[in-house]
Amino acid sequence: MSDNDTKKPTGDAQTPPKGAPTDTPAAKVGPEPSNPPAGAKLDSPPAAHSGPTGTPPPKPAAPAGGPPPKPQPKNPGFVTAVIDGKEVVVKPGTNMIEAAKTVGSEIPYYCYHPRLSIAANCRICLIEASNAPKLVPACQTPMAEGQVIKTTTPKVKEQQRAVMEFLLLNHPVDCSICDQAGECKLQDYYMKYDYKPSRLEGTKALKHKRKVLGPRVVLDQERCIICTRCVRFMNEIPKEPQLGVFGRGSHERIDVFPGNELDSNYSLNTVDVCPVGALLSRDFRFKARSWFLSATPSVCTGCSRGCNISADWMSQDTYRYRPRENEAINKSWMCDQGRLSYKDLNVGRVLSARVGRGLQAAGTVQPVLTRKDAVAGALKALKPLAGSKQLAVLASPLASNEDLLAGLTFAKKVLGVTSVFAGGRPQGKADHYLMTADKNPNRQGLALIAKGLGLSLKGFDELTPAIKAGQVKALYALGTEVPTDAAAFAEVAASLEVFVAQAQNESPVTAQATVLLPASAHIEDEGTFTQADGITQRFRKAYPSKGDAVPHWKWATELTRELGGEAAAASARDVWRALSGQVSEFAEFNWDKASPPDREKPGINPLPSGADGRPPGYREFGAPRVRGI
């Protein structure tokens, strides 16, 4: 085993080329580019130096039969070339696909991925280069000084058309039932580079149509174009080689090794990197069409890593999480456990307020309460206890920084508490790459805010003995997630005289609340989380809150006003601007400038596009009237 086998993968399979320039090119000059064009001339030759007599010295002649001299770089430390008539200046080692993007030229590709090794087997990226006698693969070929590249010549277009015809020769073309429809590069490139009927005479090669590779991924071998992205991903990123290429010719196929299955915690990333509809998520399969989905930049709440994601949703339901690129945290990947954590947003939600414990006789109908009635019920329960040592506060690290700022400020200034108990999900397993053992997205934020507000943060294991001993008879909970068995804590909570809880999901704990207030999920509001490494990240609002739920900070603001405190926040942004100054660690975070863009970078993770032309994320305003429209 080499030293590299024990290193944590970085998410970048390709290492920077030797001699790559620094951020300040003048500080370090790289070596001269290799593979120069034959006979290339300098755009601006250096000025000749005159000799003693004033006549310029003669230029040294090239040795007979030897190679021509290398051209001097126009921009030292960089490579200067021409792509489709436009000058481009890139770092040494940059391939033609990435260089073309900088000047707005698109070179199609299937097998290439910027974070995986180069395979160069799909051949649709072949283009003309001035220093090559035939077409060269743009994904594999680095830029050379003085090179002239053409991507739109008739020869290149015919090559692209021929490759598309070849790839579609045995493809089933079952777009009408394919989950990739609307996001498929075969569809996009067929319309752009081929757009001709198949000339195949006879039957197509038949393969396994529904090959279950593991608990979360299914493979349609007939749709596969053998780009090998999935194989390279499993080998290079999670370092778990579970896929391979088997067979030859028309019978070549992707499959798991005999006796094994695709059971990695990063298996669903193979679905992301698959450019066609071959690899599919068993969870998302046949659930929704991509053109009906809107995408919102958000943050995964599955653990404390804080992977950047795009939440795809329709109506008021979230359908899937997809990784969003962030070089500092998750590169372009995310774990399967976090990817499937969206389900709590759709089911088991607290949708209406309740006064009185939830354990009632069968057939009993709960009275419908307005938000004003709910606040009045909470006010009646909490007001006599303000400043009492028998009142405790439980805060969940699943709440956003804005929720915690407003909620803990209310707890300190209005309720008069000096300490707060930390709740949240129980610890779980970590893995070798992204997933952490702490399953709470904002544990760091809770610790920083409690410290900034002057509150001592106590562990949850101290709360249960205090309730049993009678030291705590009333509890205000900002989120009801607990790190122990929920049913066991519910039995303890049953002895509380007052239990005011703001909760997102129903649980045995919420059933014991004397006043239950429905809270919004993070996907239903905007705000920030602070992940395990102390990086604070913004997330955007996707759709309106379900039922009567409102964010935690809004409940805290209304309770503060009703109890005579000052709170004028009308949005999460107002809460941040008013209260974040008390936390020194938040001083350098610009809440407005940190907002993620509403569109992803083109060419990395394709976004679903609206059939009606509206961009993703803007198809629904307010509560939708008809599901799916």
Q: Please, which residues bridge with residue 516 across strands?
A: 354, 501
Does the pLDDT of residue 622 top 80, yes or no?
Answer: no
pLDDT in tens, 18-66: 444 434 333 333 334 344 444 344 343 333 343 444 444 455 555 556 6
Share of the chain above pLDDT 70, in %: 82
How many Å apart are CA 459 and CA 420, to the nearest integer? 9
Q: Using DSSP bridges, classify how beta strands 294-299 and 243-246 pair: parallel, antiparallel or unpaired.
A: unpaired
Q: What is the pLDDT of residue 602?
A: 43
How many Å apart are CA 220 and CA 183, to the nearest integer? 16
Q: Percent helix, strand, coil in the chain (nearest 5)?
A: 25, 15, 60
pTM of the full structure: 0.82
Structure tokens that stand for 553 in this block: 């900070």
Q: Hey, what amino acid is at 144?
A: A
Do residues 281 and 607 lie in contact, with contact meaning Cβ atoms separated by under 8 Å? no
pLDDT in tens, 255-309: 999 889 999 999 999 999 999 999 999 999 999 998 888 889 999 999 999 999 9
How many Å apart are CA 365 and CA 578, to the nearest integer? 41
Q: What is the pLDDT of residue 12?
A: 56
Do residues 100 and 107 lie in contact, with contact meaning Cβ atoms separated by under 8 Å? yes
- Name the DSSP letter for residue 441: T
As to burial, measured by CB atoms within 10 angstroms (0-12 exposed, 13-18 middle, 19+ buried), residue 134 is: exposed
- Unique residue bearing structure tokens 């310029």: 56
- Name the DSSP letter for residue 569: -
| Straight-line distance from the first to the last Cα atom of the chain, in angstroms, rounded to the nearest whole number | 55
pLDDT category at 7 given cuts 50, 70, 90 is very low
Q: What is the pLDDT of residue 472?
A: 94
Nearest to 235 by CA among 115, 123, 338, 124: 115
How many Å apart are CA 57 and CA 253, to the nearest integer? 65
Q: Hey, what amino acid is at 349?
A: R
Q: Hey, what amino acid is at 141?
A: T
pLDDT category at 15 given cuts 50, 70, 90 is very low
Q: How many CA atoms lie within 13 A of 332 on its CB side?
A: 20
Do residues 225 and 168 lie in contact, with contact meaning Cβ atoms separated by under 8 Å? no
DSSP string over 373-402? HHHHHHHHHHGGGTT-TTEEEEE-TTS-HH
Average pLDDT for 177-186: 91
Q: Please, which residues bridge with residue 294 across strands?
A: 313
pLDDT in tens, 594-611: 888 754 444 434 444 333
Nearest to 368 by CA among 351, 381, 382: 351
Average pLDDT for 58-80: 70
* Domains of the chain from N-terminus onward: 79-164 (3.10.20.740), 202-281 (3.30.70.20), 290-345 (3.30.200.210), 354-586 (3.40.50.740)
* Strand arrangement of the beta sheet that strand 136-137 belongs to: 86-90, 79-83, 148-150, 126-129, 136-137
Q: How far is C-alpha 235 from the chain's CA centre?
A: 21
Reported residue count of the chain is 629
Nearest to 204 by CA among 174, 163, 159, 228: 174
pLDDT category at 249 given cuts 50, 70, 90 is confident
90-126 b/e (C-beta count within 10 Å ≥ 16 → b): bbbbbbbbbbbbeeebebbbbbbbebbebbbbbbbbb
- Unique residue bearing structure tokens 């609340």: 513
pLDDT category at 149 given cuts 50, 70, 90 is very high
Nearest to 599 by CA among 178, 247, 294: 294
Nearest to 92 by CA among 111, 76, 108, 106: 76
How many Å apart are CA 83 and CA 80, to the nearest integer? 10
- Name the DSSP letter for residue 328: T
Residue 20: CB atoms within 10 Å = 15
